[in-house]
Amino acid sequence: MRTFCFRYVRSWSYREGVPAEVSPTARALRCLALLQSRPGVTAAEIAERLGVTDRAARRYVQILREAEVPIESVRGPHGGYRLGRGVRLPPVLFTQSEALALVMALLDGRRGPEGEGDLVDDAMGKVVRALPEAVGREAATLRAYAAATPERHWNRPDPSVASDLVAALAARRRVRLTYRGESGTERELEVEPWAVVARHGRWYLLGHSLSAAATRTYRLDRVHAVAQTDHPCRPPDGLDPVAALEEQLTRGWGTPTRVVFEASAEQVAPWVFPAMGRLDPLPGSQGRRCVLVGSTRNPAMYAGEWLARVPFDFRVEGGPELTAAVQALAGRLVRAVESP
């Protein structure tokens, strides 16, 4: 049924004087998706969602019927169109825009060194081959001529590790991890998993460490094995995984940081992000100044890439390593404009 339906829409689009790969195909598929997701949808509602006239919407319904899609009409004030009982549609129907967006996302996921994106490449090939000819042609062209810049710090985790963690999250069960630390030493950990979070090209597990009795984050590329236990667990109520991860990543680094800005917290907030530390109004400043307290393991990056972009005057009050890094940066910039 799917092949006949696509061919019919394509031939109809040519009769209308429009190339097959433009909006008519996408609109027909969106019409079918509307019928599937909203039983009782009216011609007026279809027209509004597709951006066409009521007459054109009814024509789309008729085209789908002639393509052997059973569509029933219900008259009356609460009537509309619905798919016939027992109808089984293909599991996935992509519009052209959806197909291109999917290929773009898959290309973006191939940013590792050569040979590391084989699974993504295989999956993308299957997606493109499964698309209808008119839709798949442009997706294949995009795939052939587009490229993504490799990440400097590529660390895609093993898909089986991610799969095991997601299964544990769904089952709300604790896990035992075989985890390799920065020193390269492996250890066994028991963790209550709360969420898997992707951040700037890296994947993290956010959860509660049983041994540390505290919230911890673990890089998925350092997890070598996952074993689900029989112990139940659940994340805290109202947990924001992204915010919690960002807060965790600001803690525990070797170099403490404390920076006072000559501006309010509301002015500075858009220029800093959670990994830089906690931003609060400075006590006694009547809200005119604010203080950023955190930690880092790379003072030079903190000074040159993070602090230097903030367009407000500031003073480093804590962390001798950060103070030295800011002084070195300032000296280098001054020397850059000095006369020889």
pLDDT value of position 253: 74
Per-residue confidence band for 5, with pLDDT thresholds at 50, 70 and 90: very low
Domain with CATH 2.30.30 in the chain: 159-240
**What percent of the chain has a predicted confidence (pLDDT) above 70?**
79
CATH class of 2-83: mainly alpha
Q: Which residues of the chain are in CATH 1.10.10.10 domains?
A: 2-83
Over residues 173-207, the pLDDT tens digits come to 999 999 998 778 899 999 999 999 887 678 899 99
pLDDT at 158: 84
In one-letter notation, the amino acid at residue 109 is G
Listed range (147-161, 212-226, 234-248) with the worst mean pLDDT: 147-161
More confident of the two residues 291 and 5: 291
Is the pLDDT score of 92 beyond 70?
A: no
Statement: the pTM of the whole predicted model exceeds 0.95: no
Quick check: 282 pLDDT over 80? yes
Contacts of 121 (CB under 8 A, 6+ apart): 110
Residue 310 confidence class, pLDDT cut points 50, 70, 90 = very high
What class has domain 159-240? mainly beta
CA-to-CA distance for 283 and 260, rounded, in angstroms? 11
Looking at 3.30.70, 2.170.140, 3.30.1330, 3.30.450, the CATH number of the domain 255-337 comes to 3.30.70
Question: What is the rounded average pLDDT of the residues 117-133?
Answer: 71
Q: What is the mean pLDDT of residues 117-144?
A: 73
Q: Which stretch of 58-62, 80-84, 121-125, 188-192 has the lowest confidence by average pLDDT?
A: 121-125
Domain with CATH 3.30.70 in the chain: 255-337
Q: Is 153's pLDDT higher than 90?
A: no
Q: Which residues pair with residue 99 across a beta bridge?
A: none
Measured in residues, the chain has a length of: 340
pLDDT, position 8: 36
Question: Percentage of the chain with pLDDT > 90?
Answer: 35
pLDDT digits (tens, 9 = 90+) for 19-74: 333 355 567 777 887 887 788 889 888 888 888 888 888 888 888 887 778 888 88
Residue 325 pLDDT class (50, 70, 90 cuts): very high
